[in-house]
Amino acid sequence: MGALTSLSKAETSVLLAISEYALLAFALLVVVGLLGEHKLPWYHHRLKRFELAVLIGCGGELLADGGVFLFSRQLEVLSNIEVGNAVAYAGAAISLSSAASIAAANANERAQAFGRDAEKLRSDNLALQVKVLELRSLMADRSISDAQASAITHALRPLGAQEFTLITYDGRETVAIAVRIRDILTGMGWNSIPPRGRLIGADTGILVYASATADLAVKRAAHALVSALATMDSEYREKPEDPPKNRIEIIIGRKR
């Protein structure tokens, strides 16, 4: 029995086929023997041969039938083993697939979390950069670029030359921006009148004054100057008496 269980599926299939063919051959031998016994009288000298053929055929059928039974059972056992192995492999593959799916889902979740964190960092970084730029803008000195100076000249030149007085607080930044504005205005023909006395107070931005009784052209020029200096928190104001009637007074306050 141990030798039988050690057979492979291919070997078992071959032995099963041999047993089936042997069973067919022994069955034919039995048929031949029975025909001989039926045809010959009991005293014929060849009758013994046919009787022996029947005996051998029956014995062979028994052995062949036993082989068919044993080898078919062994083939069934081997098939069941293969099916069991296939089921086990399939179960293992399903388990691995499930584990891989779980790992992939976890990896995807982590990737999404990293993506959200990265996006938040980018957003925070942009907000920080905006704040830094705002702080730099607040801390930076006021200035007028050449392009801005050209725009101021283009806006004011059609209104004609005007008299102006430029007053500024003490300080490097305020004095520098005052000198820049004076140079732009005198460069297009405006007449700079020195101020009287010193500036007292705490004004911020740039204040542009005109007399309430000033000519319309003077007021227009003052308004145009305020518009040209709008990025520096400029503001137009009127005084009932000072400055003199047709003179524009420009006060450079501290930076806000």
In a domain, 167, yes or no: yes
What's the pLDDT band for 163 if we cut at 50, 70, 90?
A: very high
CA 100 – CA 174 distance, rounded (Å): 70
Q: What is the average pLDDT across 8-17?
A: 76
**Mean pLDDT (whole number) for 175-181:** 89
Domain that holds residue 10: 2-105
Distance CA 71, CA 97 (A): 38
Whether 31 shows a pLDDT value over 80: the answer reads no
Does residue 41 carry a pLDDT above 70? no
Residues ≥6 apart with Cβ < 8 Å to 111: none
Q: How many domains does the chain have?
A: 2
Q: What are φ and ψ of residue 141, in 5° steps?
A: -70, 145
220-238, pLDDT tens digit by residue?
988 988 888 888 777 888 8
The token pair that represents 43 in the structure block: 């005293």
Q: Is 116 part of any domain?
A: no
Whole-number Å distance between alpha carbons of 73 and 82:
14
Mark whether 7 and 99 lie in a shared domain.
yes
Model pLDDT, residue 183: 93
Residue at 159 is within a domain: yes
In this predicted model, what pLDDT tens digit does every residue of 136-162 receive, in sequence order? 666 677 888 888 889 889 988 998 899
Mean pLDDT of the chain: 79
Percent of the chain with pLDDT over 90: 5
Residue 191: predicted pLDDT: 92
How many whole angstroms separate alpha carbon 172 and alpha carbon 197?
19
Together in a domain, 94 and 171: no
Contacts of 219 (CB under 8 A, 6+ apart): 210, 238
Whole-structure pTM value: 0.47
Report yes or no on 122 lying in a domain.
no
Task: Tell me the CA distances in angstroms from 242 to 33, 187, 209, 213, 227, one per residue in order.
Answer: 153, 25, 9, 10, 22
Q: Which two tokens stand for residue 89?
A: 């492999």
Residue 125 included in any domain = no
Under 8 Å between Cβ of 232 and 205 = yes
Q: Which of 32-46, 140-154, 191-205, 240-254 has the lowest mean pLDDT?
A: 32-46
Residue 120 has pLDDT above 60, yes or no: yes
Q: Is the domain of 81 the same as that of 8?
A: yes
142: DSSP letter: P
Token pair for residue 216? Answer: 């319309």
